[in-house]
Amino acid sequence: MAISETAQIGIIGGGPAGLLLGELLRKAGVDSVVLERRDRAYVEGRIRAGVLENGTVSMLEEAGVGDRLHREGLVHSGTEIALGTRRQRIDFEGLVGKTVTVYGQTEVTKDLIEARLRSGAPLVWSVEGVTIENEEGEKPLLHYVVDGAPHQLRCDFIAGCDGFHGVSRQSLPAEILKTYERVYPFGWLGILADVPPCAHELVYANHERGFALASMRSETRSRYYIQCALDEKLENWPDERVWDELKLRLGPELAASIVTGPAIEKSIAPLRSFVATPMRYRNLFLAGDAAHIVPPTGAKGLNLAVSDIHYLSRALSAFYRDGSRALLDSYSDTALARVWKAERFSWWMTSMLHKFHDEDSFEARMQAAELQYLFSSRAAQTALAENYVGLPY
C-alpha cells in the first residue's frame, strides 16, 4: 500500500526553479513538498550558467538567499562584443542604469538547498517513477517511489519544474500541447578551468572561424566556449587545442591575457530554442526548462525560469491569501509574454554572433551589417543592454 501524504503544493524538480518556488511559498505561509529524481551530490555538482539578471538577484534576495551571492558574486556593468580585432563595450549601467551579477547556477542551487534544509521543509531526493493525476474538479495526485516504497501526495496544485525531459510537460494532453522549436546547426564546446579570467567582463566574439565566449565563474575560475560542429568529438579536443582555438577567435589582445590550465570540466552542448504552450493545464503549472529552452548566447536560461517563478509564486500566494484565482488563470499568458521576448533576444544574439553562412552570402553580409550597426548606434546598444540585464516582470 502506498504511503499517503498531503501538501498545498507539490513541486516536481529540485533545481533552482523548484527550490526558489518552495522558499518563496514558505515565506508566504504556503507549504510544499519538493521531489527530486537525483541525489543531492548530483544536483549540487551540475555545471550550469552563471549570469544573473537584475530581477533574478532581487528574487533571490526576497527568498532570503542573497547573502553569499553579494559576498562572492561579481557585479558587471557591461559586456563586450568583438568582431575580428574590433571590440565594442556595451555599457549596461550607462545605457539603462542596471547591472548583472556573475554567480554560478551551481552556487544558487546550493544556497537554496541549504535554506530548504534549514527550514525543515520537505525535500525528497532520489525519487523514481513520478506520475501525475490531474483530473478536472479533483485535487491532483502525485505518485512516486522512494527507496522502493510507493508514495502518493495529494495537493492543491502541482508545479512542474522538472526540466525539458521531465514528466510534467509530457502530462499535458497531446490535443492541447503545442510546441515551437528551432535547432541550431552547431554546438558549444565549453571548458571550465581554475584560472583567472582574461577580461573583467564577458566577451562575445564573432570570428571567421566561429563564435567564442570568454566568461567566468569567479576571479579564479574561468568558463570559455567555442562554436563547434554538432558531431564534434570531445576526444578530438585536448586542452591545448581548445586554448589555442580560443586565442585565435578572441584576438591577439585577449589572447595575451589568457591564462591556460587543465580543464576541470569539458563538454559539448547543442543549441536550441523551444517553447511549449500552454504553461498551465488544470492544476498543473509548468515553469523553467519544462516549458522552454533558450540557446545560452543571451544568458537567459536560469533567468527565464526565475521570471516564471516570480509569476507563479505570486499567483499561488494570492490564492491562499485571499482566494483570488485571477493570477492563476492568467499565469500562462503572462509568463509566455516574457518568455517569447527572451526567446527573441537569445535568437537574435545567436544569429548575430555565430558563423552560419558562406562569407560571400547575402546572410553573412546582413550579419556583418547588424554588428556594424550595433557598434555605431547608441540606440542599438541600449536595446541589447535592456534585454541583457532583464526586461521588467
CA gap 241, 223 in Å, rounded = 16
Nearest-5° angle of CA 363, CA 368, CA 371? 125
Say what the pLDDT of residue 32 is. 98
pLDDT in tens, the chain (393 residues): 889 999 999 999 999 999 999 999 999 999 999 999 999 999 998 878 789 999 999 999 999 999 999 999 999 999 999 998 899 999 999 999 999 999 999 999 999 999 999 999 999 999 999 999 999 989 999 999 999 999 999 999 999 999 999 999 999 999 999 999 999 999 999 999 999 999 999 999 999 999 999 999 999 999 999 999 999 999 999 999 999 999 999 999 999 999 999 999 999 999 999 999 999 999 999 999 999 999 999 999 999 999 999 999 999 999 999 999 999 999 999 999 999 999 999 999 999 999 998 889 999 999 999 999 999 999 999 999 999 999 999
The reported pLDDT for the residue numbered 234 is 96
Catalytic residue among 151, 207, 247, 300: 300
Q: Is 388 a catalytic residue?
A: yes
Q: Which of 144, 184, 204, 331 is catalytic?
A: 204
Strands 178-193 and 222-228, bridge-based pairing: antiparallel
300 a catalytic residue: yes
Query: How many Cα atoms occupy the beta-carbon half-sphere of 293 within 13 Å?
Result: 19
Amino acid 61: pLDDT: 98
| From 16, 76, 207, 295, active-site residue | 76
pLDDT value at residue 362:
95
* Domain range summary for the chain, segments of one domain joined by +: 3-52+103-181+272-350
State the CATH class of domain 3-52+103-181+272-350.
alpha beta
Dist. CA 143–CA 154, nearest whole Å: 9
Selecting among 197, 281, 296, 311, the annotated active-site residue is: 296
pLDDT at 85: 86
Cell match 536560461: residue?
Answer: 301
Q: Write down the pLDDT at residue 359.
A: 86
Cα–Cα distance measured from residue 306 to residue 62, given in angstroms and rounded to the nearest whole number: 12
What per-residue confidence (pLDDT) applies to 50? 87
Residue 204 annotated among the catalytic residues of the structure: yes
Q: What is the pTM of this model?
A: 0.96
CB neighbours of residue 220 within 10 Å: 11
Contacts of 42 (CB under 8 A, 6+ apart): none
Residues 231, 187 contacting (CB under 8 angstroms): no
